[in-house]
Structure 1
Amino acid sequence: MSETTVPGTTTAGAPDEFGGIPTRLMVMGMAKRDGSIATADLVPVMEACGLSTDQVRSCLRRLVNEGLFTRDGEGREAIYKATEAGLAVLRSNSDRTVLAYAQDAAGRGWDRQWRIVAFAIPESMRSARDTFRDRLLSLGAASVHNGLYVSPHRWEAEVAAEMSRLEIAQYVTTATTDDLEVGGITNARELAAALWPLDDIADRYREFIDMYHDVPANLSDMRRRGEKIAEHDFLPGALHIAIRFMRCFELDPLLPPELLPKAWPGREARDIMARCRRIGLLAREDKGGPAMFQVYDEAISALP
C-alpha cells in the first residue's frame, strides 16, 4: 500500500496528524495465533515504519512489566510469549473483530436483553477494579453511573471468567433484564444513543470511509496491471490504515444493528478495511514477509 494508493502517509510511513507511529499497535499486531512475538520479525517492520530500536524495546518492556508478556532469550533472538492476561487481550481483539463482521453479515444480533454488572470493589484492590472496568468497556459496556455498567451483548461467560481470574466475584452483582430505564428513557435505540457516544464514533468512521473509499479499487487495478507492492511501502501502509481504523473501532461498542441509527457507517468502514487487507496481501511483493495483523486476517477469513 504505497503513498499513491494509501493517502495521508508520510515518506517515513508515519500518519501526518499523529506525529508518529503508535508503537504498541505495531508490536501487538505482530503477535501470532499462539500469542508469541518474535523480535526478529519486528526488525524489518520497525525499520520500514521509521521506528527506532529504543522505541520498540521500551514498548516490549512495558508489555512485560504489565504482565502481558514474558521474554525468552536476548536481543534479536528473543521471543515474547503472551501470559494468560496477554492472551485475554489478544482474544478480546479477535473476538471483537468476529462479532463486528458477523453482525454486519446477519444484519441483526440482539436478543432484546440488557446485561447489567454492578460492583463495589474495595480501594485495596484498585488494580483489579480498574482491570475489570476496562474489560467491561472492551466488551461494549456503557457506564450508567459509578460501578454500574450495561451492555446488550451476551457477555456472561467473559464476565464470569474475568471475575474468576481477578478473584472479585464476592464484590460483583450481575443481572439480565428486558425492561431497562435510564434517566426516564426506555426506548432501546434512544437508550443506546444516550449511553454511548455514537455520533462521535460515526464521524470517525465517515472520516475513514472518505480517506479509503477508493483504495480497494486502486489496489485491484494494480493487480490487473501486474504491479506489486514493495515491502517498504506495504508495511507502513498496512500499519497506517490499521491506525486509522482503530481510531474508530476501539471506541465502537459494536452494538447490534437493532440499536444503531439508520445508515450506520461502521459496516461500510469495516468492509473497506477487510477488502484493503485482502487485496493488499494479494498484491504484496514479498508473500513471505512479516505477518502483521495475522490474527485479524485469520478472523475475517473464517467468516462466511
Structure 2
Amino acid sequence: MTADVSHDVVAITGASGRIGRRIVPLLDRPGRTLRLVDTDLPDRVQDGPWGEVSDRVELRRASIEDERGIRSVLDGADAVVHLAAQSSERPWEEILRANIDGTQKVLEAARLGGATRVFLASSVHAVGFADVAEVASTPVLVPRPDTFYGVSKAAVEALGSVYADRYGLSIVSARICAYGDGEPNLRHGIAHWLSAGDAARLVEAALALDDGRHHIVWGVSANSPGVCNLSAGRAIGFEPQDDAYAIVRARGLEPEAPPTSGPIGGTFTEPEHPLGERW
C-alpha cells in the first residue's frame, strides 16, 4: 500500500547535517510542508544551507534529547525523517543519550503526534562484522555491529521494529554506507556510495509506504559492482539511479575494485578503531 501524500507535513530531524542539507531541496514539492528540526538553525530558511527552497519549509529548533521539545515540534507531522544522531564512534554515554534514547524519544513523539511513516538513518556499522560475501547474497543481514556506534544503529533498527509492530507505523531503517555530498571519491567507499539524489529517492520510497511494517534496506546507490543486495530496497519501491563507478570512469579514471573478503566494516573492525574512542 502507498500513503496519500497529496498534502503532508514531513518533519526532518538533523536537517542541517550532511544528508539533510542536500536532500531538503530534493524533497521540497507542492502539497508538502517540510518541517526542519535541528538545534542549530538560522533565523530564516533563506540563510540556511539548503539553497533555494519554497516558503513551504518551516524551521523548528529542538534537540532529540529534549523529550518535551521534540514532542512539541513533531506534533501534527504526518511523517518523520530521523537523521539526527552522533554520526561516529563516541564514548558509550554519548552514544546512548543521542542515538538510542534520542531515537526512542523521536519515535514516541512521532506516534503521539500522529505520524504514520518514519524513515530511520541506520548504518553499515550495524553489520560491520558481516563478511562481504554475505552482504552481496543476503537481502537483510542480522546485526553484527563493529563499534558502540554500530550497536546504537542496531538498536535504532530494533526500536523501528517494535514501533511498527506495536503501533502500526510504517518504518524504514536504511543502512547507509558511504554517503557522498558530491561526486564519489576514487577509492574510499566507492562501492558503497550513496548519492544525495538516491538518498532522496530512498526517503521518498519510505514516505510512500502505508503497510504498518518495519523494513531494513541498504542506503546504497546502484554502483555497478553490486556489492550490496538491494532487493529489500527495491521491494519497497526504492530504485537507485546513480552509479559511482560510471561517474568515475566518465572522468577517465579507473575506480578501485571492492574487496572480495573480510568484514564490510573494514578498518572499523580492527584494533586501530577501539570501542568508545572518537574517530
Normalised TM-score (structure 1): 0.28
Larger radius of gyration: 1
Q: Which has the higher contact order (CA 8 A, sep 6+)?
A: 1
Which of the pair is proportionally richer in strand?
2
Greater helix share, structure number: 1
Q: TM-score, normalised by structure 2?
A: 0.30
